[in-house]
Amino acid sequence: MRSAARRALLAGGLALGWLAAGFGCDTATDTRRAALCRRALPALAPEGTTARLLRVGPGSGPGSVRVDYRLAGADGALLKGEEARVRFLACAFGPGTEMTALATERGPVNGASLYLLRHYYLETPEAEAADPANADNAAKTPGGAATR
């Protein structure tokens, strides 16, 4: 009887481990999606501002990413009114890492802008350098916005 209980416990533990490995744990795809969503932020932020990341995590839909942030001036100080305001990017992805939709607190980014962002910015060294997750980042973005 003991060996049957031990086998059942082992099987339950293995099943739980399998579920944890396949669901809810960070994967390379999730990491890449989060990076692409963050990299869109400097291109969309107003000129002359920096982004202070508050949270990067799952969005409301399957495979989506949400980036919460606040705007600061080039000196790093929060802009007036930003203390109580949380801005966001919500990025939707297809089965891989191709961004299929992007929205901000102001609404969705149109198809042409999303296309240009995807094909001519997100995968560039400039976008990687301007990623707000880079703590030592002081690079200017194409629109003139700096990030931190």
Is residue 14 assigned to a domain?
A: no
How does residue 136 score in pLDDT terms, banded at 50, 70 and 90?
A: very low
What is each CA distance from 95 to 26, 30, 66, 101, 103, in whole angstroms?
Answer: 16, 11, 17, 13, 19
pLDDT computed for residue 141 by the predictor: 36
Is residue 148 assigned to a domain?
A: no
Is residue 110 assigned to a domain?
A: yes
Is residue 94 assigned to a domain?
A: yes
**Percent of the chain with pLDDT strictly greater than 90:** 60
Residue 141 makes CB contacts below 8 A (sequence gap 6+) with 42, 43, 45, 126, 130, 147
d(CA 135, CA 84): 23
Between 144 and 130, name the one with better pLDDT. Answer: 130
Domain with 49, as residue range(s), is: 27-130
pLDDT at 22 over 70: no
The pTM of this model reads 0.72
Q: Give me the number of domains the chain comprises.
A: 1
